[in-house]
Amino acid sequence: MASRREVRCRCGRWMSAQPGVSSIQCTTCHTVTQLSSSLVDIARGANRVLQGLQQLRRQHKQQQLQPQQQQIMAQPPPKRQHKQQQQQIIAQPPPPPSKLLEPLPSPFGKKRAVICGLDYKGKSYSLEGCISDAKSMRTFLVKQMGFPIDSILMLTEDEASPQRIPTKKNIRKAMRWLVEGNRARDSLVFHYSGHGSQQKDYNGDEVDGQDEALAPLDHETEGKIIDDEINKTLVRPLVHGAKLHAVIDACNSGTVLDLPSVCRMERNGFYEWEHQASGRTYKGTNGGTAICFSACDDHEASGYTPVFTGKNAGAMTYSFIKAVKTAGPAPTYGLLLNLMCSAIREAQSRLANDENYTSPEETAEPLLTSSEEFDIYATKFVL
């Protein structure tokens, strides 16, 4: 026999309803409440269907697992290793850490440098002495200028780690690393020895209509790094008090950092500043200082000569290092530039006496560019 149902009215009063009754009226507020017994029955039926489906799913899963369990049971147990073999396996030392995953140095030292040397080995346009230039610059910075060896990022074809090969991607990454988090009194150096070139300027920020560019090892497929990008990456992030020195030993490298001020110096030492920026794009820093020594002007080819060391070496790199070493303590930029030009002129005159040497039409001499004009004979060179 069906039992009575308890129903609560909206006024709060509980009422007792007879089975099969579809509605009931409250004796207190006289509200009629409809009884939806059919919905309860539907819910109960749906619950029974759901339970049945779950039971069928469990049975199906057990049927799938039975063949796998039988296959595992049929396999023979693994052979136990001999005790001596187990001891040999345990005694084996762990593999050495791979140089392929060698991390970049910390970017937060007060002195840090990026050095790139590219000989383009195996190419028809291969060079001689560029990797030697890079090694010479590293030795100079460590022994003469007090740069920590672990704060120098070296990119050459001789490096074991793929991260240290001077590809376009790696050079870009190294430039960003160099200026990352730069602060006041930071001394940063960017040295490049390799091919340089010019290409058409497409954004109208060059006075001569040509962009200067560096040629990474994979430039044939990945392209070159033009001066617009170099300026944006290396120059503009420099904050007040931070200083960047670039030494670029490459052809067409005069304004490869796109610095707005070019120092034009005559052989008698007289100089004047020439403004290069077109005015469309800001090429300065964020308060810091950027100075670049380039091997030649934008339209010239740089040279390498065996006169200095007996083997091919970049004339720019060698003359820069020699000038800093011989100039004495705290030389001025003017003194260094004169010493470098004099050394290269002397080398060219000595080579001119060689019957097998073909003298170029114009002797390339180092060029100084800067983010701002200054007195080169009063300002001290400090790395």
**Which residue do the tokens 């004495």 mark?**
328
**Cα 73 versus chain centre, distance:** 55
251 in catalytic set: yes
**Which residue do the tokens 């003017």 mark?**
334
How many residues does the structure list for the chain?
383
263 in catalytic set: no
Q: Closest Cα to residue 110, out of 50, 181, 62?
A: 181
Q: Which of 9, 191, 195, 263 is catalytic?
A: 195
Question: Would you give the end-to-end CA distance of the chain in angstroms?
Answer: 103
Q: Which amino acid is at 336?
A: L
> What are φ and ψ of residue 33, in 5° steps?
-110, 125
Q: Which of 251, 263, 296, 341 is catalytic?
A: 251
Return the active site residues: 195, 251
